[in-house]
């Protein structure tokens, strides 16, 4: 099954003389269970593309199909709903509420969905177990190491059992050993849970672990490599 398809996506930032064509017509298909690396130099348009694919931003032109459905014309509330149900996110900066506990941080996506308390707790416990951080559940998020913080973010990304995880430079702020563990965790979820991975990275080794690499340069796909 094709979970995501982009047809001739463009994104222009700004207007008039200062406008900038960040994406110039991207076509791609991502299958369920794939692991896909979006690679390219800084400024090539990787994050812009990921934001469009993840429904965090709207293209200037072109179309996007999520599980066969054209998302064009959907209301913001529908898009929010789709995003919360279908996607998990991991970013380079560990976006967390520092004063809240690990448990509270992981629970956030479920609060948005309005789920029963007991069910929420069960899902959070499972997610923390998956990243081997059950014992840190009651700690404040600030008290963790970088690698632990990123594992909390992964727990938060998987707590709603997403079909697709989007990760933008997920190991960019980690040392190589810790980064390796975070990678192992993501690829483990890909294999075991069949979660589709879309990883933005400029790390060739991380890209190499993916089934496919999509190389972006100046807002265009210049090469696709498949294992």
Order of strands across the sheet with 20-31? 20-31, 2-13, 61-66, 69-70
Under rule CB under 6 A, residue 215 binds ligand ADP: no
Q: Which of 13, 58, 85, 208 binds ligand ADP (CB under 6 A)?
A: 13
DSSP code at position 135: G
Q: Which of 22, 30, 96, 123 binds ligand ADP (CB under 6 A)?
A: 22
Q: Identify what 45 binds: ligand ADP, Mg ion, none; CB under 5 to 8 Å per kind.
A: ligand ADP
The smaller minimum CB distance to ligand ADP, of residues 13 and 95, is found at 13
Under rule CB under 6 A, residue 40 binds ligand ADP: yes
Return all residues near 149 (Cβ < 8 A) that are at least 6 apart.
94, 96, 141
Mark residue 139 as left, alpha or beta (left: phi above 0; alpha: psi -120 to 50; beta: remaining).
Answer: beta
Contact 23, 47 (CB under 8 A): no
The smaller minimum CB distance to ligand ADP, of residues 9 and 189, is found at 9
**Residue 145 burial by CB count (10 A; 0-12/13-18/19+): exposed, middle or buried?**
exposed
The smaller minimum CB distance to ligand ADP, of residues 22 and 133, is found at 22
Token pair in block for residue 131: 């990243």
Q: Identify what 88 binds: ligand ADP, Mg ion, none; CB under 5 to 8 Å per kind.
A: none
- SS3 assignment, position 119: helix
Q: Which stretch binds ligand ADP (CB under 6 A): 28-36, 38-46, 156-164, 172-180?
A: 38-46
DSSP code at position 92: S
Q: Which stretch binds ligand ADP (CB under 6 A): 36-44, 81-89, 120-128, 156-164?
A: 36-44
- State in angstroms the smallest separation of the CB of 156 from Mg ion: 20
Q: Which of 1, 16, 17, 20 binds ligand ADP (CB under 6 A)?
A: 20
Q: Which stretch binds ligand ADP (CB under 6 A): 35-43, 89-97, 145-153, 187-195?
A: 35-43
The DSSP code sequence of 14-74 is: SSGGG-EEEEEEEEEEEETT-EEEEE--TTSSHHHHHHHHTTSS--SEEEEEETTEE-TT-
Under rule CB under 5 A, residue 47 binds Mg ion: yes
- State in angstroms the smallest separation of the CB of 14 from ligand ADP: 6
How, if at all, do strands 2-13 and 61-66 pair? antiparallel
The smaller minimum CB distance to Mg ion, of residues 50 and 128, is found at 50
Contacts to ligand ADP by CB under 6 A: 13-14, 20, 22, 40, 42-48
């Amino acid at each position: 099954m094709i979970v995501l398809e982009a047809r001739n996506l463009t994104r222009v930032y700004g207007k008039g003389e200062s406008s900038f064509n960040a994406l110039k017509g991207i076509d791609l298909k991502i299958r369920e269970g794939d692991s896909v690396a979006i690679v390219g130099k800084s400024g090539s348009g990787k994050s812009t593309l990921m934001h469009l694919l993840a429904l965090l931003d709207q293209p200037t032109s072109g179309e996007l199909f999520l599980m066969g459905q054209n998302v064009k014309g959907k209301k913001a509330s529908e898009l929010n709903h789709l995003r919360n149900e279908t996607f998990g996110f991991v970013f380079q900066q560990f976006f967390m509420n520092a004063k809240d506990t690990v448990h509270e941080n992981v629970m956030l996506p479920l609060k948005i969905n309005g789920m029963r308390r007991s069910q929420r707790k069960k899902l959070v416990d499972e997610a923390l177990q998956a990243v081997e951080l059950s014992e840190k559940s009651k700690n404040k998020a600030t008290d963790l190491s970088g690698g632990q913080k990123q594992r909390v973010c992964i727990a938060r990304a998987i707590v709603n059992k997403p079909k697709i995880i989007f990760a933008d430079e997920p190991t960019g702020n980690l040392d190589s050993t810790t980064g390796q563990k975070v990678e192992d965790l993501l690829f483990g979820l890909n294999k075991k849970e069949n979660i589709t991975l879309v990883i933005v990275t400029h790390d060739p080794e991380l890209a190499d672990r993916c089934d496919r690499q999509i190389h972006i340069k100046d807002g265009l796909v210049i090469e696709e490599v498949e294992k």
